[in-house]
Amino acid sequence: MILPCVLLVLIIPLYLWSRWYEPRCYELNRHTIRMDKALGASLKVLHLSDIHFAGKIRALDQFFDRIAAEDVDLVFLTGDVIDHEKGIPSCVENLKKLKPRIGKYAVFGNHDYYNYRLSDCFKHHFPGQGVPESLNPIERLAEGYADAGVHLLKNETVEILNGRTPLLIHGLDDPTTGKANLRTTMKNFDPEKINLLLTHTIDVFLDIGEGEIDVSFSGHSHGGQVRMPYYGAVLTHTMMGRAYAAGIIRHQGATCVVSRGMGSSRYTPVRFLCRPEALLIEIHGS
Ligand SMILES: [Fe+2]
């Protein structure tokens, strides 16, 4: 009788914390990274990923008000911005609040394309299981992005200027559902310029050569969502190992920014020792 009582005393607070408290503890985390190439003035990037909009959440709206007050040059969105079509109005409304100096750029993730059912959530983690049958209205999301001034990149590159310094932003379509075409995306790669990569998952670095990318931005892992002390993420959602589930990581000559994300699938709305985050990355040149 004592053991069940002890378990209840432990489990109930843990459940309440991870289901109802920590998923709303939005953090804005700041990092500074330095490249070997010349950049001119430093560049401030607001990186948002895996928001999983499925409706209206007041705490999330308030967090957008907070990050919209930051003075930034670029906003990068690296997929899973929606979880369900019901989230599109709230998504567009919040993205309109962001006013970066240069622009807003996005790539899609798997949850932007597909309206996952509960059974899909188990299946799609295993290779060869195909993709879910139920689609999200991706064209409506793309129209919403255009309305909010967000430039969508689907296996394409855009060149921008930071003062007089040209930067290439390579935007890869979702790699996790086979929509990415790395060869098409990287055809405009120029080693003389700064090459930034937006990709839903960092796993594409398994096919990227040494020194091709200067800074990459990705999500998908959610930092594992549940992390254990002295161990880290329990499930990583990356083939590259636990160390690549979140953070600022050096790999193949690139600085890889991997976000813990700001939301989760509506079927797994828990976080433990893995608070939702937006990243404010200040990039300095040589
Ligand atoms: Fe996600």
What is the pLDDT, as a whole number, of residue 8? 81
Q: Give the residues across from 162 on adjacent strands.
A: 165
Tell how far the Cα of 136 is from the centroid of ligand 1, in angstroms. 14
Tell how far the Cα of 238 is from the centroid of ligand 1, in angstroms. 12
Tell how far the Cα of 207 is from the centroid of ligand 1, in angstroms. 22
Tell how far the Cα of 168 is from the centroid of ligand 1, in angstroms. 25
Which domains does the chain carry?
2-284 (3.60.21.10)
Query: Which residue type, as a one-letter code, is found at position 70?
Result: E
Tell how far the Cα of 230 is from the centroid of ligand 1, in angstroms. 24
Tell how far the Cα of 52 is from the centroid of ligand 1, in angstroms. 7
Tell how far the Cα of 152 is from the centroid of ligand 1, in angstroms. 18
Say if CB 258 and CB 247 are below 8 A apart: yes
Residue written as tokens 């979880």? 83
Tell how far the Cα of 2 is from the centroid of ligand 1, in angstroms. 40
Tell how far the Cα of 166 is from the centroid of ligand 1, in angstroms. 31
Tell how far the Cα of 34 is from the centroid of ligand 1, in angstroms. 28
Tell how far the Cα of 40 is from the centroid of ligand 1, in angstroms. 34
Query: Is this prediction's pTM over 0.85?
Result: yes
The token duo for 155 is: 């296996």
Tens of pLDDT along 176-208? Answer: 999 999 999 999 999 999 999 999 999 999 999
Tell how far the Cα of 164 is from the centroid of ligand 1, in angstroms. 35
Contacts of 192 (CB under 8 A, 6+ apart): none
The two beta strands, 150-152 and 165-171, are: unpaired
Across residues 14-23, what is the average pLDDT?
A: 95
Tens of pLDDT along 52-65? Answer: 999 999 999 999 99
Identify the DSSP state of 135.
Answer: B
| Angle, vertex CA 147, rays to CA 184 and CA 159, nearest 5 | 35
Largest CA distance in the chain: 72
The sign of the CA dihedral 93, 76, 59, 9 is: positive
Tens of pLDDT along 73-111? Answer: 999 999 999 999 999 999 999 999 999 999 999 999 999
